Amino acid sequence: MIKTAIVGATGYTGSELVRLLYNHPDVEIQMITSESRKGEPFSAVHPHFEGLVDHVLQPASAVLEAELDMVFLALPHGVSMDYVKGYQSAKFNVVDLSGDFRLSSPEVYEAWYKKDHTHPKGFEDAVYGLPELHSAAIEKSSLVANPGCYPTSAILGLAPLIEAGWVDPAHVIVDSKSGITGAGIKAKPTTHYSNVSDNFKAYGLKSHRHTVEIQEQLSGLRPEPLQVQFTPHLLPVDRGILSTIYTTPIREEVSDQALRKLYEDFYADAPFVRLRKTPPTLKDVRSSNFCDIFTTYDERTNRIITLAAIDNLVKGAAGQAMQNMNLQFGLPETRGFVSLPLNP
């Protein structure tokens, strides 16, 4: 059994990790931590786990005193880096769900996150945890930087086109919509019911930190300079991301059939990518680790339109983290994923 701890399990991502790991046949959840609720049962924080997961919440310092194989860091950006630094000599693997080690360098991180980075060495050790692109490196890594939710949908939607050199890399538009859980569990004025219900808005224009994450990962697929215009939007729903991606082809012959073949070949060994014949919806992937992709060519505008749908808490966070753990321990990527999409 993989002896596992979840650090920072009082938020949405921590709760999802517990829900998924509870059903994993090779995982034993040994410890769940919380600084703000330590001493309380986990089920007191998340009552839907009553009678199922009643672990008493421990301080994070207890992790280093336990015999563990795997630690998930479900902590905010700017906090995880100190924990990773403190775990350098530990024998367990780490999947960090924050953005602290997703980018190429501490300098890039500080420019986009507006925070000083306290553990630059971590960038040398961390592997970007998108299994569809980096499975071989993930298998060998003890520190995985779990991708952001928006970047997961955008990168998976774009990767076949970019690698094949089918589209103009200087004109890539990603228009993404996310449910409210993407903003985290802490209450903010922008996430109050009265500001979200019957409302819809864009945010982070020109400066959202996921822009550079998308751009860096896609730039690794082709030598040409790549520029992404990324705009996220907040939907009045609880979970899910739908990204609509616009690209301009630079090859002469493009068709829906050719696009289908390109994506089928690229994702032939990707069990969680489903290529759809019709545009996906949020409920098609709700509560699952799937990324549903639909792509088509618009002859009138000479644009390729690609849609990618994920559950932001699963494939965009906890599910992808468990997928990465499976790879780290030599298990099939699909091991432990027993939930079908929940619709309605």
Helix axes 319-328, 131-140, angle to 10 degrees: 40
Which tens digit of pLDDT belongs to each residue from 285-322? 999 999 999 999 999 999 999 999 999 999 999 999 99
Answer whether residue 332 shows pLDDT above 80.
Answer: yes
Edge-to-edge strand ranges of the sheet holding 127-128: 27-33, 2-7, 70-73, 93-96, 143-145, 127-128
User: Whole-model pTM?
Assistant: 0.97
Answer whether residue 187 shows pLDDT above 80.
Answer: no
pLDDT score recorded for residue 301: 97
Answer whether residue 12 shows pLDDT above 80.
Answer: yes
Answer whether residue 183 shows pLDDT above 90.
Answer: no
* pLDDT class of 120 with cuts at 50, 70, 90: very high
Task: Identify the architecture of domain 2-147+315-328 in CATH.
Answer: 3-Layer(aba) Sandwich (3.40)
Which tens digit of pLDDT belongs to each residue from 245-275? 999 999 989 999 999 999 999 999 999 999 9
Percentage of the chain lying above the pLDDT 90 cut: 93
Across residues 173-188, what is the average pLDDT? 90
b/e map of 182-202 (b: 16 or more CB within 10 Å)?
A: bbeeeeeeebeeeebeeeeee
**Looking at this protein, which amino acid is placed at residue 277?**
K
CA 297 to chain centre: 27
Does the annotation count 291 as an active-site position?
Answer: no
Q: Which two tokens stand for residue 23?
A: 């059903």
Q: Evaluate whether 2-147+315-328 and 150-312 have a shared fold.
A: no
* pLDDT class of 189 with cuts at 50, 70, 90: confident
Across residues 149-162, what is the average pLDDT? 98
pLDDT score recorded for residue 35: 93
CA distances from 247 to 158, 174, 198, 209, 210 (A): 9, 9, 31, 21, 19
Asked if 179 and 239 touch (Cβ cutoff 8 Å), the reply is yes
Q: Per this entry, what is the length of the chain?
A: 344
Across residues 71-88, what is the average pLDDT? 96
149, 172, 309, 321: the active-site residue: 149
Strands 291-298 and 93-96, sheet pairing: unpaired
pLDDT score recorded for residue 324: 98
pLDDT score recorded for residue 68: 98
pLDDT score recorded for residue 294: 98
* pLDDT class of 184 with cuts at 50, 70, 90: confident
Which tens digit of pLDDT belongs to each residue from 335-344? 999 989 999 8
Across residues 192-197, what is the average pLDDT? 88
pLDDT score recorded for residue 186: 80
Q: Give the closest residue to 87 by CA, choosing from 71, 103, 99, 75.
A: 71
Across residues 48-56, what is the average pLDDT? 97
Answer whether residue 239 shows pLDDT above 90.
Answer: yes
CATH pick for 150-312 out of 3.40.50.1100, 3.30.360.10, 1.10.10.10, 3.40.50.720:
3.30.360.10
Answer whether residue 59 shows pLDDT above 90.
Answer: yes
328 vs 142: CA distance, rounded Å:
7
For the chain, domain boundaries: 2-147+315-328, 150-312
